[in-house]
Amino acid sequence: MTIAPLLSLAGIAAGPVAELAARAVESLDFSSFLGAAKTSPPPPEDASSAAGISLGDLVAPTKDALDRFRQLLAPRLRALGVDLSQPVLLAVDALGQVRETSGHPQGAQIEQLFASNDALSNNLREVSAQFEVMRAIEEHQRFAELYAQNPNLAIAQFGHLFDQDRSLPQFHLELLGDEMNPVFSN
């Protein structure tokens, strides 16, 4: 397989630099790639910022998304008369549907609200995705910091990161009174 289709899927124009990179990658065989990996210099000290997105880059957009969601949701819950003295846990299931997972007495009404309002459910999906990315970055940073000090200990403590069969912590947004708090559960 050539790299050109992958570049186009990623939205990278096949300009001179991309063509040069594609030729370079396609000319490598697997054994020379492995040899190059063995002799590559270690990553920079602050690997998270060198790699692109940092946790700090996501804080403001995530807060903005949560504020937009709050502004959309609050009047709708008031109109339904939802009792927020009891916690409401909202989650996005594997099919992208919003679920109330705490067993709140008005859970069915809350789920129907999201099912009938694409803007509201899309806002929760955005908030959920952003918090999940932030959680993954934070976990990666903790792993990278420990790995720089003690690789064996890092592998022992963060071995779950390399387990393809593990289930990821699920994001829930807890509503209680006027508060909205992100919660992750296994």
* Residues whose CB is less than 8 angstroms from the CB of residue 82 and which lie 6 or more positions away in sequence, other chains included: 88, 104, 106, 109, 110
Statement to judge: residues 30 and 105 lie in one domain: no
Q: Quick one: 136 and 158 in the same domain?
A: yes
- Note the pLDDT tens digit of each residue in 81-128: 999 999 999 999 989 999 999 999 999 999 999 999 999 999 999 999
Looking at the structure, tell me whether residues 122 and 35 fall in a common domain: no
Q: Which of 183, 177, 186, 75 is nearest to 128 (CA)?
A: 183
Same-domain check for residues 13 and 85: no
**Claim to verify: residue 33 and residue 53 sit in the same structural domain:** no
Residue 96 sits in the same domain as residue 152: yes
C-alpha to C-alpha distance for 149 and 151, rounded to whole angstroms: 7
Is the pTM here over 0.75, yes or no? Answer: no
Query: Per the structure, how many domains does the chain have?
Result: 2
Q: What is the pLDDT of residue 47?
A: 47
For residues 63 and 90, membership in a common domain is answered with: yes
Q: Clarify whether residues 108 and 141 are in a common domain.
A: yes
71 and 26 in a single domain? The answer is no
My answer on whether 103 and 60 are in the same domain is: yes
Mean pLDDT is lowest, of 11-15, 83-87, 90-94, 137-141, for 11-15
Indicate if 33 and 100 belong to the same structural domain: no
Model pLDDT, residue 162: 86
Q: Do residues 12 and 52 share a domain?
A: no
Q: Kindly state the tokens that stand for 143.
A: 């792993």
What's residue 20's pLDDT? Answer: 40
User: Which residues have C-beta within 8 Å of that of residue 120, sequence separation ≥ 6?
Assistant: 69, 72, 73, 76, 113, 114
Domain hosting residue 173, numbered range: 48-185
